Chains A and B, each alone.
Chain A
Amino acid sequence: MPIAHTDRFLGVYLPSRYEDIRAIAYDPEHFSSRRIFVREGKRPPLKSPPITSDPPSHRAERKILLPPFTPAAIQRLEPRARALCRELLEPLSGRSACDGAVDYAQEIPARLIAHMLGISEDAGDQFRKWVRDSFEHSMTDVSIVQRVVAEVSAFFDEEIARRRGARGDDLISYLLHARIDGEPLSKEHINGTLRLLLFAGVDTTWSAIGVSLWHLATHPDDRKRLAAEPQIIPTAVEEFLRAYAPVTAGREIVKETELAGCPLKVGEMVLLPFGAANRDPEIFPDAERVVIDRAENPHAAFGLGIHRCIGATLARMEMRVALEEWLGKFPDFALAPGAAVEWSTGPIRGPRQLPLTLGAG
């Protein structure tokens, strides 16, 4: 049977085949996004448009978010991303060891999204703490989510108030001036979307950069090849996304239906393990092998269907630049002997501690 079930977390199904995961992602009529994470207890539904929305409202809420994330817009951010990576690498010069997740991977997306939101990049530290609390520590303690949401909302309320007078060039100002059907967005909408941008962009990209470094630290041939041929980094990035897809989303079953012959109960959740879809041998030849120059790679790491990640171009740029800069500085590195790599728990998977030895530098 390709679908597993647990009674924990109020009842959850786990499909494993690409075909089934795709079918769910394409079927918002039976599978609603009003709950996207599995938790031990019920909590009041919290809106973070567009990720928690279903048709028909989803489309317009998504559309207003697209312009700041187009390839042209993201290209303009690349110099800042590169400078940021260099600032992080600079203090590692001459060192023989560091933590690739703590000293490098985690800093990049948190600081860059702060930059985009027009907030001091030092707020990145606070962002990361909120994000980790809400993803990793909240599966079994729902009260943590409520506390984090209250804190984040208060933070953004203040930032919004600051922009009411003078419009800036940042994402918060952009949302304040966005219109759906000629109407400005409600305060809850703006706050929910800002929370989403913060939460969707930080842990995910941090995990993706971290797991790429982990792969290279444990596969010297791939590491040497990428250091020697940086032009294949973009292809390798796609393969790391396929093989180590950081995100498992979920849907609430809102209409009785079945999947691969398995009846699904209304009110329970179904997980979307995009990483499992990406390793389905029906779709990806040699699925278990990481092939850094895999040419045909229609992976689902950014999701499938209407909720497909809005930040994908940004995340790809961050991963590419992070690897280019890291390999330019440290072409030679490995897992520290006896290293305890710590992996996250929860819906976003990646290394949270990654002790490395640095060969050159």
Chain B
Amino acid sequence: MNVLPKPFAGPADLTVRINRKRCQGHARCVAIAPELFEVDASGETQELRGGAVPPDLANKVYLAAANCPELAIDIVEAGEQA
């Protein structure tokens, strides 16, 4: 069983999505990439800016996904099907 997502070869046009069914709100993603995620006042985690990932944050979004214990972070490359 492999839980770690594959690292990216390089910056691409990336979008990040939190899988609502899996996310349990541990906020590991927020701790690692506060530029990309936030926890709202009710305790739910959200993607910022609709999940758009600036190219210089490609590595951070990968790290956030690799540290999410629920495997709730999906990273989608432009042109790929979610």
Residues of A whose CB lies within 8 Å of any CB of B are 18-19, 63, 66-67, 69-72, 234, 238, 282-283, 295-300, 302, 304-306, 308-309, 312-313, 316
Contacts and interface: CB of A to CB of B under 8 A. Distances in A.
Interface of B: 1-4, 24-28, 30-31, 39-44, 63, 66-71
A295 B59 CA distance: 12
A240 to B, nearest CB: 15
Given A63-B42, A72-B41, A296-B63, A308 B71 contact: no
B24 A305 contact: yes
Given A66-B43, A283-B1, 12 more contacts: A18-B3, A66-B42, A70-B27, A71-B30, A71-B31, A296-B63, A298-B66, A302-B69, A304-B69, A304-B70, A308-B24, A308-B25
23 contacts: A18-B3, A63-B43, A66-B25, A66-B43, A66-B44, A67-B42, A67-B43, A70-B40, A70-B43, A71-B27, A72-B41, A234-B31, A296-B4, A297-B66, A298-B3, A298-B4, A298-B66, A298-B68, A299-B69, A302-B26, A308-B69, A313-B26, A313-B27
Contacts, number: 68
Given A70-B43, A312-B27, A18 B69 contact: no
A297 B43 contact: no
Given A71-B30, A296-B4, A308 B70 contact: yes
Contacts of B68: 298
